[in-house]
Amino acid sequence: MNPTGTLTKTIDETRQGEPFYSTDYESIVSEDIKRFYIESYGCQMNFSDSEIVAAILTDCSYFPTKDIENANLILLNTCSIREKAEDTIRQRLKTINKVKARRPDTMIGILGCMAERLKQSLLDEEKLVDLVVGPDAYRDLPRLINRVEDGDKGINVHLSREETYADISPIRLESNGVTAFISIMRGCDNMCSFCVVPFTRGRERSRDPFTIIAEAKHLFEKGYKEVTLLGQNVDSYKWNHPDTNEHYSFANLLELVALIHPDLRVRFSTSHPKDMTDEVLHTMARYENICNYIHLPVQSGSSRILSMMNRTYDREWYKNRILAIRSIVPDCTISSDIISGFCTETDEDHQETLSMIRWADYSMSYMFMYSERPGTLAARKYEDDIPEEIKKTRLSEIIALQNAISKAHNAKDIGKTFKVLIEGDSRKSENEFKGRNSQNKMVVFSKEADFKPGDYADVYIESSTSATLKGHIVTS
């Protein structure tokens, strides 16, 4: 079973491994240009990074292709968050190696978290891999590619304290032309005990807000209507102007992006409960175009487990944050990430997680079994002592409960009318549009003349499932 269901958010399971491609370069035909093919895995940050990589590569005359057989350079932008994510890449490499056997000149590169975690050993273990490049070393790709063209291997896994790729204008790959992601920070300083991210993505650093605003403005001018500000922990965004020392918090940044235009929707992800301030909530409440949706991962409902996870909040603190959201942004939906079977988790702890899901009334959640990651605090301090079968049973209970709650949550929307941003055709029918309301719920509705992707439509909700609202456009 796909534990994350079909809902789209920071981790879109349906897009894992999808070739990332842009049609803008199809017409360029020349002997001198080369083609790269890129697949992305893991969280939205990786998908966003692939767009930065695409910009760096096109600058050195490598252009995107969706035909792996036609590529001079094949790249996998990888994830290390769970063991299964790395297994997927190893399997994928087996297939890609067959391409290399047919066309030995094809270069194969591993980018992202797995490159950073495994470093040189990846080159030693996967003999056909030519390039290993960590998340902070993408600017070095042209030099590394040259090395490989000269018959060497190329590796750069240096983690930076400054790199934000602020000056690079990403090439939008697989874009619907309506919604886009903007990285506002990189890395993470939080050290949750289960998590490999601080080791693979390095220290937290925030991007110059003026480059973020310029990127969002540029997208709006090109017709985009929604930007999602991305970071591992957006609420700890902070930037000081080097000349004036003026301070910019996440609330300040959110406001500046919202002020670009009332028709440009703003979303953000992910929020860490310990850093989510009332100031951010008041900013959300002030601007209609800041969407009423917060992804606020709880991880566990048990304070004892939260303390072992080093999340730095407990059950009560988390509940208070939710009460603050409900009182300041009453229309806001909340979603979560949940881990089942963390070290020492008892049935009582598990029951506390279930009761938290009920109490918080999450619109949806991403749900995972704990996977021990080498080098993390938990791997060093605690035994991974919950048997796989128990992790699985608990995960199934969590999924069943969340599905029931999502279904009831959506059923409450029947009879309401929402402003929906049209993203394109629905997956099932070209006679229907899909889009999302401010609360990040997917809405499917019949097409009407005069409406096109990028338009806002008022949609009356007639029915619902656990994943989707269905309705029709109402015109005044």
Task: Tell me the residue nearest to ligand SAM as measured from the CB.
Answer: 337
End-to-end CA distance of the chain: 43
Judged by beta carbon, residue 65 or residue 365, the one nearer ligand SAM is 365
Instruction: Report the DSSP beta bridge partners of residue 250.
Output: none
Near ligand SF4 by CB under 6 A: residue from 54, 85, 195, 343: 195
Among positive and negative, which fits the CA dihedral 356, 231, 324, 273?
positive
Judged by beta carbon, residue 375 or residue 415, the one nearer ligand SAM is 375
Q: How far is CA 173 from CA 20, 184, 427, 460, in A?
A: 6, 18, 19, 32
Stretch 215-234 residues interacting with ligand SF4 (CB under 6 A): 232-233
Judged by beta carbon, residue 188 or residue 364, the one nearer ligand SF4 is 188
Stretch 265-294 residues interacting with ligand SAM (CB under 6 A): 270, 272
Tell me which of ligand SF4, ligand SAM, none is bound by residue 82, counting a contact when its beta carbon lies within the kind-specific cut-off of 5 to 8 angstroms: ligand SAM
Tell me which of ligand SAM, ligand SF4, none is bound by residue 370, counting a contact when its beta carbon lies within the kind-specific cut-off of 5 to 8 angstroms: ligand SAM
Q: How far is the CB of 271 from ligand SF4 (least distance, A)?
A: 10
Tell me which of ligand SF4, ligand SAM, none is bound by residue 198, counting a contact when its beta carbon lies within the kind-specific cut-off of 5 to 8 angstroms: ligand SF4
Q: What are phi and psi of 447, to 5 degrees?
A: -70, 150
399 binds ligand SF4 (CB under 6 A): no
Near ligand SAM by CB under 6 A: residue from 232, 292, 333, 335: 232
Q: How far is the CB of 198 from ligand SF4 (least distance, A)?
A: 5
Near ligand SAM by CB under 6 A: residue from 265, 373, 409, 441: 373
- Count residues near ligand SAM (CB under 6 A): 18
Decide: 256 and 264 in contact? Cβ < 8 Å: no
Tell me which of ligand SF4, ligand SAM, none is bound by residue 340, counting a contact when its beta carbon lies within the kind-specific cut-off of 5 to 8 angstroms: none
Q: How far is the CB of 241 from ligand SF4 (least distance, A)?
A: 26
Distance CA 89, CA 111 (A): 11
Interacting residue ranges for ligand SAM, rule: CB under 6 A: 43, 81-82, 194-195, 197, 232-233, 270, 272, 297, 299, 337, 339, 368, 370-371, 373
